[in-house]
Amino acid sequence: MNEEAEKAMAQLVEDAEKVALDFMRQINAKLRKSRAEDELLRAIVGSIKPALPAVSSRVGGLSGPLARALALGVMVEGSQLFLSEQGDFFLLSGPQCKPVVLSSEQVLDRVPLDAVFAPIVSAVRAQLGRKRNVEEIEREAHILEGIAQALKVGGALR
């Protein structure tokens, strides 16, 4: 082998080592990112868990712990993604179908974090907008309680 070929071979080996190291760094970075996203999603769900009953709706055809959930508006493999009041993710392809419960890691394997996070944020913010509605109901309840108390005192209700 001539000197030029030897230099080319040495450069190829050096370049291959760089490519291999960069590839390993990339794999490690992707794993770290995936773990961080999973940890973040679990933390988000844990922190909003007390609000989940307020933002959840009845899911037709289901009973038990998955009967009320937040529809996330995300389709995964032909099924709708939900977040239950208990903080469990599940897929449902129709009202007569059995739900498939997924871990946060399994969700993130199928859907980007922002596609899951955005509808959760929207639902919680929309619920904040219902504060006036709650205040109106409380006011009406107070009036009705007053009327009921007045009727009890007046003798109409016994």
Per DSSP, the three-state class of 64 is helix
DSSP for residue 56: -
pLDDT, one tens digit per residue, over 69-115 is 999 999 988 899 999 999 999 999 876 678 999 999 999 999 999 99
pLDDT exceeds 70 at position 153: yes
Mean pLDDT of 23-36: 95
When pLDDT is averaged across residues 12-17 and rounded to a whole number, the result is 94
Report pLDDT for 145: 87
Q: Is the predicted pLDDT of residue 154 greater than 90, yes or no?
A: no
pTM of the model: 0.74
CA distance 22 to 16: 10
Nearest-5° Cα angle at 65, 54 to 128: 10
Amino acid 60: pLDDT: 80
Q: What percent of the chain shows pLDDT beyond 70?
A: 94
For residues 93 and 96, give the distance between their C-alpha atoms in angstroms, rounded to a whole number. 8
Q: Are 56 and 72 in contact (CB under 8 A)?
A: no
Instruction: Tell me the CA distances in angstroms from 55 to 24, 85, 121, one per residue in order.
Output: 42, 8, 10
Around Cβ 57, how many Cβ atoms within 10 Å? 12
